[in-house]
Amino acid sequence: MGNFEVFDGDITSPKGYKASGLNIGLKKDKKDMALIVSDVLAKGAGVFTTNKACAAPILLCKKNITGAKIQAIIINSSNANACTGQKGYEDALAMAETTAGELGISSENVLVASTGVIGVPLPMETILNGIKKVVDSLSYEGGQAAAEAILTTDTCVKNIAVSVEIDGKQITIGGIAKGSGMIEPNMATMLAFVTTDANIEGAFLQKLLNNVVDKTYNMITVDGDTSTNDMVGVMANGMAENMIINEAHPEAEKFAKAFYYVNEYLAKLIVRDGEGATKFIEVEVMNAKSFADAKKVAKSILNSNLVKTAFFGEDANWGRIICSIGYSGADFDIDRIEVFLGKEGDMVKIIKDGRGTGFDEKYIDQILKERDLKIIVDLKNGNEGAKGWGCDLSYDYVKINVSYRS
Protein backbone atom coordinates (compact mmCIF):
# COMPACT_ATOMS: atom_id res chain seq x y z
CA MET A 1 0.00 0.00 0.00
CA GLY A 2 2.45 2.62 -1.22
CA ASN A 3 5.13 3.41 1.34
CA PHE A 4 3.26 1.84 4.26
CA GLU A 5 1.83 -1.53 5.26
CA VAL A 6 -1.77 -2.01 6.38
CA PHE A 7 -2.65 -4.62 8.99
CA ASP A 8 -5.51 -5.66 11.26
CA GLY A 9 -4.51 -3.56 14.26
CA ASP A 10 -5.91 -0.82 16.47
CA ILE A 11 -5.01 1.82 19.05
CA THR A 12 -2.75 -0.54 21.01
CA SER A 13 -0.70 -1.50 17.94
CA PRO A 14 1.75 1.44 18.31
CA LYS A 15 4.38 1.20 21.06
CA GLY A 16 3.42 2.33 24.54
CA TYR A 17 -0.38 2.24 24.47
CA LYS A 18 -2.75 0.32 26.69
CA ALA A 19 -6.52 0.17 26.40
CA SER A 20 -9.54 -1.53 27.90
CA GLY A 21 -13.25 -1.90 27.27
CA LEU A 22 -15.85 -3.26 29.70
CA ASN A 23 -19.52 -3.38 30.51
CA ILE A 24 -19.88 -1.16 33.59
CA GLY A 25 -23.68 -1.21 33.71
CA LEU A 26 -24.75 1.54 31.30
CA LYS A 27 -26.00 -1.12 28.88
CA LYS A 28 -27.56 -4.47 29.73
CA ASP A 29 -24.84 -6.73 28.41
CA LYS A 30 -22.63 -4.95 25.86
CA LYS A 31 -19.36 -3.15 26.61
CA ASP A 32 -20.03 0.52 27.36
CA MET A 33 -16.83 2.14 28.67
CA ALA A 34 -13.38 2.37 27.06
CA LEU A 35 -10.04 3.81 28.14
CA ILE A 36 -6.95 4.56 26.04
CA VAL A 37 -3.69 5.40 27.84
CA SER A 38 -0.17 6.24 26.68
CA ASP A 39 2.74 5.10 28.85
CA VAL A 40 4.18 8.62 28.54
CA LEU A 41 2.73 12.08 28.01
CA ALA A 42 1.87 12.38 24.32
CA LYS A 43 1.38 15.19 21.84
CA GLY A 44 -2.36 15.65 21.41
CA ALA A 45 -4.55 16.94 18.60
CA GLY A 46 -8.30 17.10 18.17
CA VAL A 47 -11.15 18.21 15.93
CA PHE A 48 -14.64 18.61 17.36
CA THR A 49 -18.28 19.04 16.31
CA THR A 50 -19.47 22.38 14.94
CA ASN A 51 -22.93 21.79 16.45
CA LYS A 52 -23.66 24.70 18.82
CA ALA A 53 -25.55 22.28 21.07
CA CYS A 54 -22.24 20.53 21.65
CA ALA A 55 -22.00 18.12 24.56
CA ALA A 56 -20.26 18.75 27.89
CA PRO A 57 -17.32 16.43 27.14
CA ILE A 58 -16.65 18.33 23.91
CA LEU A 59 -16.44 21.62 25.85
CA LEU A 60 -13.97 19.99 28.24
CA CYS A 61 -11.89 18.47 25.42
CA LYS A 62 -11.66 21.82 23.61
CA LYS A 63 -10.23 23.29 26.81
CA ASN A 64 -7.79 20.46 27.51
CA ILE A 65 -6.53 20.11 23.94
CA THR A 66 -5.19 23.68 23.97
CA GLY A 67 -2.26 22.36 26.00
CA ALA A 68 -1.52 19.91 23.15
CA LYS A 69 -0.45 17.23 25.64
CA ILE A 70 -2.69 14.20 26.21
CA GLN A 71 -2.07 10.93 28.06
CA ALA A 72 -5.51 9.33 28.36
CA ILE A 73 -8.92 9.27 26.70
CA ILE A 74 -11.96 8.00 28.64
CA ILE A 75 -15.08 7.14 26.61
CA ASN A 76 -18.56 6.01 27.57
CA SER A 77 -21.33 4.88 25.25
CA SER A 78 -25.11 4.73 25.88
CA ASN A 79 -25.30 8.33 27.21
CA ALA A 80 -24.13 11.44 25.31
CA ASN A 81 -24.03 13.80 28.31
CA ALA A 82 -25.34 16.44 25.87
CA CYS A 83 -27.78 19.28 26.67
CA THR A 84 -27.31 18.54 30.37
CA GLY A 85 -26.29 22.03 31.50
CA GLN A 86 -23.69 22.94 34.11
CA LYS A 87 -24.18 19.61 35.89
CA GLY A 88 -23.23 17.84 32.66
CA TYR A 89 -19.98 19.79 32.46
CA GLU A 90 -19.21 19.04 36.11
CA ASP A 91 -19.84 15.34 35.39
CA ALA A 92 -17.47 15.39 32.41
CA LEU A 93 -14.86 17.09 34.58
CA ALA A 94 -15.38 14.44 37.27
CA MET A 95 -14.75 11.76 34.63
CA ALA A 96 -11.45 13.41 33.70
CA GLU A 97 -10.40 13.94 37.32
CA THR A 98 -11.27 10.39 38.39
CA THR A 99 -9.43 8.93 35.40
CA ALA A 100 -6.41 11.11 36.13
CA GLY A 101 -6.46 10.19 39.82
CA GLU A 102 -6.57 6.47 39.09
CA LEU A 103 -3.69 6.77 36.61
CA GLY A 104 -1.60 9.23 38.60
CA ILE A 105 -1.58 11.88 35.86
CA SER A 106 -2.95 15.43 35.45
CA SER A 107 -6.66 15.81 34.63
CA GLU A 108 -5.66 18.47 32.06
CA ASN A 109 -4.07 15.66 30.05
CA VAL A 110 -7.29 13.64 29.79
CA LEU A 111 -9.86 13.80 26.99
CA VAL A 112 -13.46 12.73 27.68
CA ALA A 113 -15.85 11.42 25.03
CA SER A 114 -19.47 10.32 25.40
CA THR A 115 -21.97 8.95 22.89
CA GLY A 116 -25.57 7.81 23.12
CA VAL A 117 -28.90 9.37 24.06
CA ILE A 118 -29.03 13.19 24.34
CA GLY A 119 -30.49 15.04 27.33
CA VAL A 120 -30.15 12.38 30.02
CA PRO A 121 -27.88 13.01 33.05
CA LEU A 122 -25.01 10.57 33.50
CA PRO A 123 -25.46 7.97 36.28
CA MET A 124 -22.30 9.18 37.99
CA GLU A 125 -21.98 6.47 40.62
CA THR A 126 -21.96 3.86 37.86
CA ILE A 127 -19.59 5.99 35.72
CA LEU A 128 -17.02 6.64 38.45
CA ASN A 129 -17.00 3.02 39.63
CA GLY A 130 -16.66 1.99 36.00
CA ILE A 131 -13.60 4.19 35.51
CA LYS A 132 -11.82 2.32 38.28
CA LYS A 133 -12.70 -0.98 36.59
CA VAL A 134 -11.40 0.04 33.15
CA VAL A 135 -8.17 1.33 34.70
CA ASP A 136 -7.68 -2.05 36.39
CA SER A 137 -8.32 -3.80 33.06
CA LEU A 138 -5.79 -1.84 30.97
CA SER A 139 -3.74 -4.03 28.64
CA TYR A 140 -1.33 -3.66 25.72
CA GLU A 141 -3.76 -5.97 23.88
CA GLY A 142 -6.91 -4.05 24.90
CA GLY A 143 -7.56 -2.19 21.65
CA GLN A 144 -10.28 -4.50 20.36
CA ALA A 145 -12.20 -4.38 23.65
CA ALA A 146 -12.05 -0.56 23.52
CA ALA A 147 -13.26 -0.61 19.90
CA GLU A 148 -16.30 -2.64 21.00
CA ALA A 149 -17.07 -0.45 24.01
CA ILE A 150 -17.49 2.79 22.04
CA LEU A 151 -20.24 1.44 19.75
CA THR A 152 -23.94 2.39 19.84
CA THR A 153 -26.12 1.37 16.86
CA ASP A 154 -23.02 0.18 14.99
CA THR A 155 -23.17 -3.39 13.73
CA CYS A 156 -19.40 -3.94 13.65
CA VAL A 157 -16.15 -2.70 15.19
CA LYS A 158 -14.09 -0.26 13.17
CA ASN A 159 -10.32 -0.50 13.48
CA ILE A 160 -7.17 -0.25 11.36
CA ALA A 161 -3.38 0.06 11.73
CA VAL A 162 -0.51 0.85 9.39
CA SER A 163 3.26 0.76 9.76
CA VAL A 164 5.68 3.04 7.95
CA GLU A 165 9.46 3.40 8.12
CA ILE A 166 10.79 6.88 8.89
CA ASP A 167 14.43 7.65 9.77
CA GLY A 168 15.01 3.89 9.69
CA LYS A 169 12.51 3.44 12.56
CA GLN A 170 9.23 1.56 12.29
CA ILE A 171 6.36 3.88 13.10
CA THR A 172 2.86 2.57 13.68
CA ILE A 173 -0.45 4.41 13.44
CA GLY A 174 -3.60 2.76 14.80
CA GLY A 175 -7.20 3.84 14.97
CA ILE A 176 -10.70 2.91 16.11
CA ALA A 177 -14.00 4.62 15.37
CA LYS A 178 -17.73 4.44 15.94
CA GLY A 179 -20.59 5.84 13.95
CA SER A 180 -23.62 4.57 12.11
CA GLY A 181 -26.34 7.23 12.29
CA MET A 182 -26.55 10.99 12.88
CA ILE A 183 -23.67 11.22 10.43
CA GLU A 184 -22.98 14.47 8.59
CA PRO A 185 -19.70 15.51 10.11
CA ASN A 186 -18.70 18.98 10.38
CA MET A 187 -17.35 16.95 12.86
CA ALA A 188 -21.45 12.79 13.23
CA THR A 189 -22.55 10.64 16.17
CA MET A 190 -19.04 9.93 15.18
CA LEU A 191 -16.03 9.29 17.36
CA ALA A 192 -12.55 8.41 16.12
CA PHE A 193 -9.39 7.87 18.13
CA VAL A 194 -5.94 7.55 16.57
CA THR A 195 -2.68 6.68 18.28
CA THR A 196 0.87 6.69 16.96
CA ASP A 197 4.34 6.13 18.40
CA ALA A 198 5.76 8.74 16.01
CA ASN A 199 7.82 11.60 17.37
CA ILE A 200 6.02 14.56 15.81
CA GLU A 201 5.72 18.28 16.43
CA GLY A 202 2.40 19.07 18.10
CA ALA A 203 1.51 22.03 15.89
CA PHE A 204 2.28 20.00 12.77
CA LEU A 205 0.11 17.12 14.04
CA GLN A 206 -2.85 19.46 14.62
CA LYS A 207 -2.43 21.07 11.19
CA LEU A 208 -2.22 17.63 9.58
CA LEU A 209 -5.34 16.47 11.42
CA ASN A 210 -7.32 19.55 10.38
CA ASN A 211 -6.44 18.92 6.73
CA VAL A 212 -7.18 15.19 6.90
CA VAL A 213 -10.53 15.64 8.68
CA ASP A 214 -11.68 18.05 5.98
CA LYS A 215 -11.03 15.41 3.29
CA THR A 216 -12.22 12.30 5.18
CA TYR A 217 -14.68 12.56 8.08
CA ASN A 218 -16.11 15.81 6.71
CA MET A 219 -16.75 14.10 3.37
CA ILE A 220 -19.04 11.36 4.68
CA THR A 221 -22.77 11.41 5.28
CA VAL A 222 -25.37 8.87 6.31
CA ASP A 223 -28.37 11.05 7.10
CA GLY A 224 -27.37 14.71 7.04
CA ASP A 225 -27.47 15.13 10.84
CA THR A 226 -24.51 16.69 12.64
CA SER A 227 -24.22 15.27 16.16
CA THR A 228 -23.61 17.05 19.44
CA ASN A 229 -20.68 14.79 20.33
CA ASP A 230 -18.45 14.28 17.28
CA MET A 231 -14.73 14.27 17.80
CA VAL A 232 -11.47 12.93 16.48
CA GLY A 233 -8.71 12.66 19.07
CA VAL A 234 -5.06 11.84 18.31
CA MET A 235 -2.13 10.95 20.57
CA ALA A 236 1.51 10.75 19.42
CA ASN A 237 3.88 9.54 22.15
CA GLY A 238 7.24 9.59 20.33
CA MET A 239 8.24 6.11 21.47
CA ALA A 240 9.36 5.08 17.96
CA GLU A 241 12.30 7.45 18.58
CA ASN A 242 12.47 8.88 15.05
CA MET A 243 13.70 12.40 14.40
CA ILE A 244 10.89 14.84 15.12
CA ILE A 245 8.47 15.10 12.19
CA ASN A 246 7.59 18.63 11.13
CA GLU A 247 7.06 20.38 7.82
CA ALA A 248 10.82 20.41 7.18
CA HIS A 249 11.30 16.67 7.77
CA PRO A 250 12.25 14.95 4.47
CA GLU A 251 9.78 12.10 5.13
CA ALA A 252 6.89 14.20 6.46
CA GLU A 253 4.81 13.41 3.38
CA LYS A 254 5.30 9.68 3.90
CA PHE A 255 3.86 9.96 7.41
CA ALA A 256 1.05 12.21 6.17
CA LYS A 257 -0.05 9.65 3.56
CA ALA A 258 -0.14 6.84 6.12
CA PHE A 259 -2.04 9.06 8.59
CA TYR A 260 -4.51 10.01 5.86
CA TYR A 261 -5.09 6.36 4.95
CA VAL A 262 -5.99 5.42 8.54
CA ASN A 263 -8.56 8.20 8.81
CA GLU A 264 -10.07 7.71 5.35
CA TYR A 265 -10.41 3.98 6.05
CA LEU A 266 -12.24 4.64 9.33
CA ALA A 267 -14.47 7.29 7.73
CA LYS A 268 -15.50 4.90 4.95
CA LEU A 269 -16.19 2.12 7.48
CA ILE A 270 -18.64 4.44 9.24
CA VAL A 271 -20.58 4.92 6.00
CA ARG A 272 -20.49 1.21 5.18
CA ASP A 273 -22.12 0.63 8.56
CA GLY A 274 -24.70 3.38 8.06
CA GLU A 275 -27.99 2.61 9.80
CA GLY A 276 -30.01 0.36 7.50
CA ALA A 277 -27.59 0.92 4.59
CA THR A 278 -27.65 -1.49 1.65
CA LYS A 279 -25.42 0.56 -0.69
CA PHE A 280 -22.02 2.25 -0.27
CA ILE A 281 -21.78 5.23 -2.61
CA GLU A 282 -18.63 7.13 -3.60
CA VAL A 283 -19.01 10.48 -5.36
CA GLU A 284 -15.98 11.90 -7.11
CA VAL A 285 -16.16 15.46 -8.41
CA MET A 286 -13.47 16.59 -10.82
CA ASN A 287 -12.48 19.74 -12.69
CA ALA A 288 -14.17 22.11 -10.25
CA LYS A 289 -13.14 25.74 -9.78
CA SER A 290 -12.20 25.04 -6.14
CA PHE A 291 -12.09 22.25 -3.56
CA ALA A 292 -14.98 24.01 -1.81
CA ASP A 293 -17.12 23.79 -4.98
CA ALA A 294 -16.22 20.12 -5.48
CA LYS A 295 -17.12 19.39 -1.86
CA LYS A 296 -20.47 21.18 -2.18
CA VAL A 297 -21.44 19.08 -5.20
CA ALA A 298 -20.34 15.77 -3.66
CA LYS A 299 -22.14 16.40 -0.37
CA SER A 300 -25.27 17.73 -2.11
CA ILE A 301 -25.63 14.48 -4.09
CA LEU A 302 -24.88 12.29 -1.07
CA ASN A 303 -27.31 14.17 1.19
CA SER A 304 -30.23 14.14 -1.23
CA ASN A 305 -32.94 11.87 0.18
CA LEU A 306 -34.33 11.46 -3.33
CA VAL A 307 -30.94 10.28 -4.63
CA LYS A 308 -30.49 8.02 -1.61
CA THR A 309 -33.91 6.41 -1.97
CA ALA A 310 -33.32 5.94 -5.72
CA PHE A 311 -30.17 3.96 -4.91
CA PHE A 312 -32.08 1.88 -2.38
CA GLY A 313 -34.64 1.15 -5.12
CA GLU A 314 -31.82 0.50 -7.63
CA ASP A 315 -33.34 3.12 -9.93
CA ALA A 316 -31.01 5.08 -12.26
CA ASN A 317 -33.01 8.28 -11.84
CA TRP A 318 -30.44 10.71 -13.23
CA GLY A 319 -32.83 13.65 -12.88
CA ARG A 320 -32.49 13.45 -9.10
CA ILE A 321 -28.71 13.54 -9.40
CA ILE A 322 -28.58 16.60 -11.66
CA CYS A 323 -31.19 18.33 -9.49
CA SER A 324 -29.01 17.88 -6.39
CA ILE A 325 -25.99 19.20 -8.30
CA GLY A 326 -28.03 22.21 -9.40
CA TYR A 327 -28.92 23.35 -5.88
CA SER A 328 -25.48 22.61 -4.39
CA GLY A 329 -24.41 26.27 -4.49
CA ALA A 330 -21.25 25.47 -6.45
CA ASP A 331 -20.05 27.60 -9.38
CA PHE A 332 -20.42 25.78 -12.74
CA ASP A 333 -22.28 25.79 -16.07
CA ILE A 334 -24.99 23.11 -15.97
CA ASP A 335 -24.90 22.84 -19.79
CA ARG A 336 -21.27 21.64 -19.75
CA ILE A 337 -21.20 18.98 -17.06
CA GLU A 338 -20.92 15.24 -17.52
CA VAL A 339 -21.99 12.59 -15.00
CA PHE A 340 -21.07 8.91 -14.90
CA LEU A 341 -22.78 6.22 -12.83
CA GLY A 342 -21.68 2.66 -12.13
CA LYS A 343 -19.10 0.70 -10.20
CA GLU A 344 -15.30 0.76 -10.13
CA GLY A 345 -14.09 -0.17 -13.62
CA ASP A 346 -17.55 -0.02 -15.21
CA MET A 347 -18.84 3.54 -15.44
CA VAL A 348 -21.71 4.59 -17.74
CA LYS A 349 -22.09 8.20 -18.96
CA ILE A 350 -25.63 9.15 -17.93
CA ILE A 351 -25.46 12.94 -18.42
CA LYS A 352 -23.66 14.92 -21.16
CA ASP A 353 -23.85 18.70 -21.50
CA GLY A 354 -26.48 18.76 -18.75
CA ARG A 355 -28.82 16.33 -20.53
CA GLY A 356 -29.52 12.60 -20.41
CA THR A 357 -27.53 10.37 -22.77
CA GLY A 358 -30.18 7.75 -23.46
CA PHE A 359 -28.04 5.08 -21.77
CA ASP A 360 -28.96 1.40 -21.68
CA GLU A 361 -31.36 1.20 -18.70
CA LYS A 362 -31.24 -2.60 -18.48
CA TYR A 363 -27.45 -2.62 -18.37
CA ILE A 364 -27.21 -0.03 -15.62
CA ASP A 365 -30.03 -1.72 -13.65
CA GLN A 366 -27.74 -4.75 -13.36
CA ILE A 367 -24.85 -2.58 -12.12
CA LEU A 368 -27.09 -0.96 -9.49
CA LYS A 369 -27.62 -4.35 -7.84
CA GLU A 370 -23.99 -4.10 -6.60
CA ARG A 371 -23.36 -2.93 -3.03
CA ASP A 372 -20.45 -0.59 -3.90
CA LEU A 373 -21.45 2.10 -6.40
CA LYS A 374 -19.86 5.26 -7.76
CA ILE A 375 -20.85 8.61 -9.29
CA ILE A 376 -18.32 10.75 -11.16
CA VAL A 377 -19.19 14.39 -11.87
CA ASP A 378 -17.03 16.37 -14.30
CA LEU A 379 -17.82 20.08 -13.86
CA LYS A 380 -15.41 21.14 -16.65
CA ASN A 381 -14.79 24.36 -14.78
CA GLY A 382 -11.29 24.13 -13.29
CA ASN A 383 -8.78 21.61 -11.97
CA GLU A 384 -9.83 20.96 -8.36
CA GLY A 385 -11.62 17.87 -7.08
CA ALA A 386 -13.02 16.06 -4.05
CA LYS A 387 -14.32 12.65 -3.04
CA GLY A 388 -17.18 11.94 -0.68
CA TRP A 389 -18.87 8.82 0.65
CA GLY A 390 -22.43 8.05 1.63
CA CYS A 391 -25.11 5.39 1.59
CA ASP A 392 -28.70 4.80 0.57
CA LEU A 393 -31.79 5.45 2.70
CA SER A 394 -33.69 2.29 3.50
CA TYR A 395 -36.80 1.21 5.42
CA ASP A 396 -34.50 -0.06 8.16
CA TYR A 397 -33.06 3.44 8.80
CA VAL A 398 -36.54 4.60 9.77
CA LYS A 399 -37.17 1.50 11.91
CA ILE A 400 -33.89 2.01 13.83
CA ASN A 401 -34.52 5.69 14.51
CA VAL A 402 -38.18 5.61 15.52
CA SER A 403 -37.21 3.54 18.56
CA TYR A 404 -33.65 4.75 19.37
CA ARG A 405 -34.36 5.73 22.99
CA SER A 406 -35.96 2.39 23.77
Say which of 189, 195, 216, 226 is annotated catalytic.
189
For 3, phi then psi, to 5°, come to -95, 15
| CA gap 209, 192 in Å, rounded | 12
At residue 324, what is the residue type? S
Reply yes or no on whether 189 is catalytic. yes
Question: What positions carry a catalytic annotation?
Answer: 189
